[in-house]
């Protein structure tokens, strides 16, 4: 499993992804699930991946390879003219990778499916955020649905729904994401730190703040403890049920 979230704020985009992959509980590894394609001053595209690791790695590799040696296939991910076209290109690549594995004669116990979040901005266009399905089609974040989650989404959703505010600062957004990740990590062994976090500031057209938060990060540890205590406090202060 995996947990990745992207938020669309008024001031920009925030991405976060865990790094645990597992094939069974006895085969656990750390892989980066956040991938950025950048031409400073022209475009910034960040992809978060969830699902079959072979599928997501091959999808990212194909996008990279084509951008280096494009051959007959254009446009590459560094040439698309809009975020919409970028999402189409990534969706097509994902679908082709999945269908190639699914029909190649071999069968696997688990499916080859994967789901991606793609966000960023291309010069002259507004920033956009998409969720891409294994079938290659996609939906876009809006004011009504200003964030996307992929992977193990349930445990971390309640706090996102209750505390998200599109005018929050990047620093408050990272706090929100880390609380959401903490709830998920506590409940699902297949989601684990370190957590990659990236900001994109609207119209900057370059990578913003980008960091990896480890399990022993002092802020993350303080937040995890503090949130647990705050939840218990909040619960204690609500009135008990009264028998009628």
Contact by Cβ (8 Å): 77, 86: yes
Smaller CB separation from a copy of itself, 98 or 195: 195
Q: Is residue 144 a contact residue for a copy of itself (CB under 8 A)? A: no
Smaller CB separation from a copy of itself, 124 or 239: 239
Q: Is residue 107 a contact residue for a copy of itself (CB under 8 A)? A: no
* Other residues' Cβ atoms within 10 Å of the Cβ of residue 153: 17
Q: Tell the smallest beta-carbon distance from residue 184 to a copy of itself (Å).
A: 9
Contact by Cβ (8 Å): 173, 9: yes
Smaller CB separation from a copy of itself, 40 or 228: 228
Per-residue interface string for the shown chain with a copy of itself, residues 210-229, x marking contact by CB under 8 A: -x-------x--xx--xxx-
Q: How far apart are CA 8 and CA 14, in angstroms?
A: 7
Q: Which of 37, 155, 181, 200 binds a copy of itself (CB under 8 A)?
A: 155
Residue entry with tokens 């370190």:
194
Smaller CB separation from a copy of itself, 69 or 234: 234
- Return all residues near 44 (Cβ < 8 A) that are at least 6 apart: 36, 37, 38, 120, 121, 200, 204, 205, 206, 207
DSSP states along 38-105: EETTTEEEEEEEEE-HHHHHHHHHHHHHHHHS-TT----TTT-SSHHHHHHHHHHHHHHHHHHHHTSS
Q: Count residues contacting a copy of itself (CB under 8 A)?
A: 42
Smaller CB separation from a copy of itself, 65 or 229: 229
Q: How far apart are CA 15 and CA 172, in angstroms?
A: 13
Q: Is residue 174 a contact residue for a copy of itself (CB under 8 A)? A: yes
Q: Which of 95, 125, 157, 207 binds a copy of itself (CB under 8 A)?
A: 157
Q: Tell the smallest beta-carbon distance from residue 228 to a copy of itself (Å).
A: 6
Report residue 238 as tokens: 């609500």
Smaller CB separation from a copy of itself, 39 or 172: 172
Interacting residues toward a copy of itself by CB under 8 A: 154-155, 157-159, 161-163, 169-172, 174-176, 178-179, 183, 186-187, 209, 211, 219, 222-223, 226-228, 230-235, 237-244
């Amino acid at each position: 499993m995996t947990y990745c979230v992207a938020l669309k704020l008024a001031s920009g985009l925030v991405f976060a992804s865990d790094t645990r992959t597992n094939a069974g509980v006895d085969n656990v590894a750390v892989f980066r699930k956040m991938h950025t394609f950048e031409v400073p001053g022209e475009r910034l595209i960040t992809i978060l991946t969830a699902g079959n690791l072979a599928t997501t790695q091959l999808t990212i590799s194909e996008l990279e390879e084509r951008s280096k040696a494009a051959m007959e296939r254009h446009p590459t991910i560094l040439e698309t003219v809009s975020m919409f076209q970028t999402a189409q290109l990534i969706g097509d690549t994902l679908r082709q990778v999945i269908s190639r594995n699914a029909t190649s004669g071999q069968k696997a116990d688990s499916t080859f499916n994967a789901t991606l979040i793609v966000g960023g901005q291309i010069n002259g266009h507004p920033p956009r955020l998409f969720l891409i399905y294994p079938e290659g089609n996609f939906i876009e974040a809006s004011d009504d649905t200003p964030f996307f989650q992929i992977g193990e989404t349930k445990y971390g959703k309640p706090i996102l729904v209750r505390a998200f505010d599109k005018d929050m600062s990047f620093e408050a957004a990272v706090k929100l994401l880390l609380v959401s990740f903490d709830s998920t990590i506590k409940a699902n062994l297949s989601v684990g730190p370190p957590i990659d976090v990236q900001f994109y500031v609207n119209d900057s057209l370059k990578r913003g703040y980008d960091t990896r938060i480890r399990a022993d990060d002092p802020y993350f540890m303080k937040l995890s403890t503090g949130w647990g205590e705050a939840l218990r406090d909040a619960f204690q202060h609500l009135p008990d049920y009264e028998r009628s």
